[in-house]
């Protein structure tokens, strides 16, 4: 990837993460990058090509994050990874919000497949459900949906994450007691 493309994609990635596809306006991007609109069209032809490149970039970043998450041994390590990759999580949130668009759903489905697989081992440990992998996986899927509904730039911090995990542990504990 050329340096000129990289700058546009980095700015576009952040715009998408914070504002979804509505944040991808060529005029706004060109102002952020400090280049004219013709530079954008020279590199990407149109917004559709640019969006596809952003989705490919996100897929690549999500795979790298999934590897990090699968190596996490505990909640503290997972929280550190999450906080280091806030923008990526906010990008993923936008994919969920706009999953009614075929191209976003297709990427989201691919990401969900490998990310939940990588996250499951540490997740079982965090929520104290090592003995029941199927239930842990179901709780993970539901928790991720809820998680992405709640996160914002402001809420995505250590204290909020710890409270979120504590609430899920409490829910699992209550579920176990009701058996």
CATH number, residue 138:
1.10.357.10
What is the per-residue pLDDT for 34? Answer: 94
What is the per-residue pLDDT for 178? Answer: 77
Tell me the three state secondary structure of residue 72. Answer: coil
Q: Are 21 and 51 in contact (CB under 8 A)?
A: yes
Can you give the residue range of the structural domain that contains 113? 3-177
How many domains in the chain? 1
Q: Is the pLDDT of residue 179 over 70?
A: no
Residue bearing the bigger pLDDT, 85 or 132: 85
Tokens 């906010």, residue located: 90
Model confidence at 1, pLDDT cuts 50, 70, 90, reads: low
Residues 126-158: tens digit of each pLDDT: 998 888 888 899 999 999 999 999 999 999 999
What CA–CA distance (Å, rounded) separates 49 from 53? 6
What CA–CA distance (Å, rounded) separates 124 from 128? 6
């Amino acid at each position: 990837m050329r340096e000129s493309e990289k700058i546009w994609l980095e700015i576009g990635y952040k715009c998408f993460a914070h504002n979804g596809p509505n944040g991808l306006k060529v005029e706004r991007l060109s102002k952020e990058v400090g280049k004219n609109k013709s530079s954008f069209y020279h590199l990407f032809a149109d917004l559709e090509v640019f969006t596809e490149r952003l989705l490919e970039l996100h897929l690549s970043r999500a795979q790298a994050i999934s590897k990090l998450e699968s190596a996490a041994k505990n909640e503290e390590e997972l929280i550190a990874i999450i906080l280091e990759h806030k923008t990526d999580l906010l990008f993923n949130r936008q994919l969920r919000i706009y999953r009614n668009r075929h191209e976003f759903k297709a990427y989201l489905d691919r990401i969900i497949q490998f990310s939940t697989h990588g996250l499951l081992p540490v997740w079982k440990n965090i929520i104290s459900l090592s003995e029941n992998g199927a239930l842990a996986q179901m709780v993970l899927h539901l928790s991720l949906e809820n998680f992405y509904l709640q996160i914002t730039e402001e809420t995505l911090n250590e204290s909020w994450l710890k409270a979120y995990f504590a609430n899920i542990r409490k829910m699992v504990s209550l579920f176990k007691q009701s058996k």
